[in-house]
Amino acid sequence: MNDLLIRNTRIAACRDAACSVWPPGYVTIANGRIAALGTGDPPAATSAQQEVDAAGALLTPGLIDCHTHLVYAGDRAREFEMRLEGVSYEEIARAGGGIVSTVRRTREASDATLLAESAGRLKSLMRHGVTTVEIKSGYGLSLAAELKSLRVARTLGERHAVDVRTTLLAAHALPPEYAGRPDAYIDEVVIAQVIPEAARLGLADAVDAFCDTIGFTLAQTRRVFEAARDHGLPVKLHAEQLSNQHGAALAAEFGALSADHLEHLDDAGALAMAEAGTVAVLLPGAYYFLRDTHVPPVELLRRHHVPIAVATDCNPGTSPTTHLPLMLNMACTLFRLTPAEALLGVTRHAAQALGLAATHGTVEVGKVADLCLWDAEQPAALAYEIGAGSLRARFKNGIQHPLE
C-alpha cells in the first residue's frame, strides 16, 4: 500500500525545457519517494493510506532555494534608510556598519538567539513552497563563529520539514582584526582552521568564496578551493558580481557546483562553466536591491547551454527577502528569463546547483516526494504573480505540512 495518493492534479514535472503540463492525473508516494505517476485515474488496484483530491491544482516539484545567507543576527534596515538619504556605503562601513555590523552581532549572538532569528526566515521560505534550502555561513569570520553558524544551519534542518544543505563561506569578507592582511586571514583562519574543522565535524556540504574587487583575489580563492578539495568538499563561488575577475573560469576548473551572481561574466567564463557542468545561479533580489544596471548575460548562458538557477540570496545587506516565487517574477522582468526557465531555476537546475539532481528537482518515479500544489492554471502564473499566495499545499518527503 502507498502512503499517499494525489489524484486529479495537473503535473508540471520540470523534466523538459518548457515545463510542460500533463493532462489531469495522479501521483502515488511510498516511503517518502514518488512510487508512480500518470495521466487519468490511477490503476484500479492503487490503494493508499491517505488520498488528496487536488481538484485540478497544478503540481510542481518542491521549490529549492540554492543560495541563501539565512543564518545571521540583527538587520540593516537603518543602513538602507541612510543609503536612501545619500550616505555612501563606504561612509556607512567606516562608521562600523555594513557587513562588519552583521559580523559583530552574529558573533555576539548565542546559538539559541541565532537559531530563533534564523528559524523565522526559514519558516517564511517554507510558506512560499521551499522544501530544500542552501544556507551559507560567512557572518562569523572566525573559527568559533563560523562553526556556530554551520551548527545552527544543521539544527534548522533537523527541526523543520525542509532539507538544509550547508556551505562554508568563511572567505566572504575580511574581519576587522585582519584589516589590511587578507592573505594572512585566508591562510591562518580559513585554510588552516575553519575548512579542516568544518570538514572533520561534518558541518559543511560545500565551500564557497567571494571573488571580487571588494572580496578576495583569484589567487586567494584558488588556495581556498585547493583546501576544500584536500578535504573532500565541493566548491561554489560568488563570481563576477561587481567586475570580471575570471572567477567563473576558476570555479569551472575545480568542477564547481555553481557560480553565482555573474553580472560581469564573459564568453570564456560561460564556456568554461558549460564544459564543467557548473550551474549559473542568478540572484535578482540583490540586483534589484542594489539598483544595479549591469544585467547578467542570459543570452550568453543560453548560447553555451549553461543551466540557469534562481535563488533569493537572502541576506541582511543586499537581498533581505524570503520570497522565492517573487524571484521568479524578478528573473523574468529584470533578466528576461522565460517563465519556464525561471521555474526550472528553482527546481531542476537548483537541485543541480546543490549536487542533488539525482534525488530532487523533478517529479519522477524514485525521486524524493517534495511537491507543491498551486492554485494556478499554468506554470507561467507562478512567475506572473507579484507576491501572491497561490500555494495550496506543500509536501515534504510525501507528508503534507501546514503552511505556517
Residue 87: per-residue pLDDT: 86
The domain locations on the chain are 2-61+363-401, 63-353
The single-letter DSSP state of residue 204 is: -
pLDDT digits (tens, 9 = 90+) for 200-248: 999 999 999 999 998 999 999 999 999 999 999 999 999 999 999 999 9
Q: Between the CA of residue 203 and those of 223, 231, 354, 402, what are the distances in Å?
A: 20, 12, 15, 29
Q: Which fold has domain 2-61+363-401?
A: Urease, subunit C; domain 1 (2.30.40)
DSSP string, 209-270: EEESTTSB-HHHHHHHHHHHHHTT--BEEEESSSS--SHHHHHHHTT-SEEEE-TT--HHHH
Residue 211: per-residue pLDDT: 97
Helices and strands in the chain, H and E counts? 16, 16
Total-model pTM: 0.97
Evaluate whether 313 touches 283 at the Cβ level (below 8 Å). yes
Residue 266: per-residue pLDDT: 98
Residue 90: per-residue pLDDT: 65
78 — phi, psi (to 5°)? -65, -40
Evaluate whether 361 touches 64 at the Cβ level (below 8 Å). yes
Sign of CA dihedral 347, 348, 352, 356: positive
Distance CA 273, CA 263 (A): 15
- The CATH number that domain 63-353 falls under is 3.20.20.140
Distance CA 343, CA 351 (A): 12
- CA angle 175-179-181, nearest 5°? 105
Distance CA 368, CA 358 (A): 9
Q: Angle, to 10 degrees, between the axis of helix 143-159 and the axis of helix 99-108?
A: 70
Residue 45: per-residue pLDDT: 83
Nearest in space to 374 (alpha carbons), one of 363, 362, 388, 360: 388
Torsion angle (degrees, nearest 10) of CA 208, 296, 182, 254: 40
114 — phi, psi (to 5°)? -65, -40
Residue 98: per-residue pLDDT: 83
Distance CA 14, CA 379 (A): 10
**Chain-centre distance of CA 315, in angstroms?**
11
Distance CA 176, CA 255 (A): 32
Sign of CA dihedral 134, 63, 102, 257: positive
pLDDT digits (tens, 9 = 90+) for 93-144: 777 778 889 999 999 999 999 999 999 999 999 999 999 999 999 999 999 9
Residue 325: per-residue pLDDT: 97
Residue 332: per-residue pLDDT: 98
The single-letter DSSP state of residue 175 is: -
Distance CA 371, CA 384 (A): 20
Distance CA 97, CA 51 (A): 53
Residue 44: per-residue pLDDT: 86
Taking 50 as the pLDDT cut, the residues of the chain under it are none
3-state secondary structure of 206: strand
Residue 163: Cβ-neighbour burial (10 angstroms; 0-12, 13-18, 19+): buried
Evaluate whether 376 touches 382 at the Cβ level (below 8 Å). yes
Distance CA 20, CA 340 (A): 9
Residue 91: per-residue pLDDT: 80
